[in-house]
Amino acid sequence: MKDKSKKSIFGILMCTLVLWNIFITIKLYEDQPSGDQEGSITNNVQNISYATTDLTKASEKGILRTVAISTDTGSGSGAVYKTVAADNQYEVTIITNNHVVGNNKQVNVLFANGQTIEGDVVGGDLFTDLAVVKVVTNFAVDAFDIGDSEGLRNGEWVLAVGSPLGLEFSGSVSEGIVSATERIIGVDLNNDGTDDWDMLVIQTTAAINPGNSGGALINLNGELVGINSMKISQESVEGIGFAIPIQEAIPIVEQLIEHQKVVRPLIGISGRSISDYSIAQRSYYGLPLDVESGVVVTDIVRNGAADKVGVKVGDIIVEMNGEPIENFKTFRINLYKQLPGDEIKVKINRANQLEEVTITLE
């Protein structure tokens, strides 16, 4: 009897547990959110996913359109500017930095699909640090859509794409924000310790390391807004990188494509900043002692543009088209804003007398 009683109690307990599980399951099902609530949860998940996808989609575009460039002396990056298809081949035009290609006529270009092809250096420009490389491939390569570097705002997210520290890190992406859109950086072109040129650049917190030079700076639409160029390398400095704005780069790139060099105007003089002269030198050359800014004409090209209007050795150029000329750097920057054939008004100090001449640049 005891065994039968135990079996009966055990059976009742088992039935009770089964019924309780069924009750709990039904209750949980009834407590699920309604259709509208479920849709709301789904939408929230989609929104979170979409915010992440903005970054990943831009990165994917950037990686596919950015190349690694190597030479015998180093490596860098490049951004695909144009692609032209013909006869199952593709002529790919790539923007990079002049200091990446150096004096090389050919470079090796590593594409996102892992293929390396030799490319020809079309031309480069020392002042803007831009160069153009062309490669012929047997596979399709997409070019970047061009963004609006002039419309960038401080705080806007950007991505730097390139090959930091060498080819083994090709296709790397770093993120940051735009810190400043029109930063002026002095550049020493001949390594003499004096800045020879001012570059207009985008300042960004996106990490730009050796090998990133020439690579793409893109917005969150994956559009090309700049060409990564340099960084400040100091132990006390972090998160300051620079890129050439794409709207500044394109006119230079188009000249390199058409002429293999940048066509700049000739004025037909050699000059030197008057601030470089000591008091003794000024006395020796008969230069005014009280003039603190300007460019001293040290040589004249015979029958050149300046010679034709009577500019002489010893004249001091103090103004060009209404802009004060502080030194040789500002003289060259103002001159190179012009084109061959342009007329410029130049104010000169000759023996402490100001004169204005109109020069037609060649």
Decide which of 89, 111, 137 is a domain's last residue.
137
Q: Note whether residue 38 is domain-resident.
A: no
Residue 196 known to be catalytic: no
48-64 burial, b at 16+ Cβ within 10 Å, e below that, comes to: eeeeeeeeeebbebbbb
**Following DSSP, what letter does each residue of 276-339 receive, concatenated?**
GS-HHHHHHHT--SS--SSEEEEEE-TTSHHHHTT--TT-EEEEETTEE--SHHHHHHHHTTS-
Residue among 75, 129, 149, 163 flagged as catalytic: 129
Residues 292 and 254 in one domain: no
Residues 290 and 234 in one domain: no
Q: Cα dihedral angle (328, 333, 334, 337), rounded to 10 degrees? A: 150
Residues 154 and 248 in one domain: yes
Residue among 99, 179, 196, 198 flagged as catalytic: 99
Q: Note whether residue 345 is domain-resident.
A: yes
What distance in Å separates the CA atoms of residue 301 and residue 1, rounded to the nearest whole number? 129
Decide which of 220, 239, 259 is a domain's last residue.
259
Note the pLDDT of residue 18: 52
Q: Could you tell me the CATH number of the domain that includes residue 220?
A: 2.40.10.10
**What range defines the domain where residue 308 resides?**
269-360
Structure tokens at 291: 């003039």
Q: Note whether residue 52 is domain-resident.
A: no
What distance in Å separates the CA atoms of residue 354 and residue 259, rounded to the nearest whole number? 39
Residue among 70, 174, 213, 229 flagged as catalytic: 213
- Which stretches of the chain score pLDDT less than 50? 1-2, 28-29, 32-46, 48-51, 236
Q: Interior CA angle at 224 toward 219 and 228, to 5°?
A: 95
Note the pLDDT of residue 5: 52
Residues 115 and 96 in one domain: yes
Model confidence pLDDT, tens digit, residues 195-225: 777 788 999 998 887 788 899 999 999 999 9
Helices (H), 145-261: 246-259
Note the pLDDT of residue 117: 97
Domains in the chain, number = 3
Decide which of 137, 165, 193 is a domain's last residue.
137
Note the pLDDT of residue 38: 39
Note the pLDDT of residue 189: 78
CA distances from 80 to 32, 84, 85, 141 (A): 52, 11, 14, 8
Q: Note whether residue 50 is domain-resident.
A: no
Model confidence pLDDT, tens digit, residues 135-169: 999 999 999 999 999 999 999 999 999 887 767 76
CA distances from 125 to 53, 230, 238, 255 (A): 37, 16, 29, 10
CA distances from 247 to 26, 243, 252, 305, 317 (A): 64, 12, 10, 30, 31
Residues 162 and 249 in one domain: yes
Residue 49 known to be catalytic: no
The answer to pTM > 0.85 is no
Q: Note whether residue 281 is domain-resident.
A: yes
Helices (H), the chain: 2-30, 35-65, 98-101, 246-259, 279-285, 305-308, 328-335
Note the pLDDT of residue 42: 42
Residue 290 known to be catalytic: no
Q: Note whether residue 172 is domain-resident.
A: yes
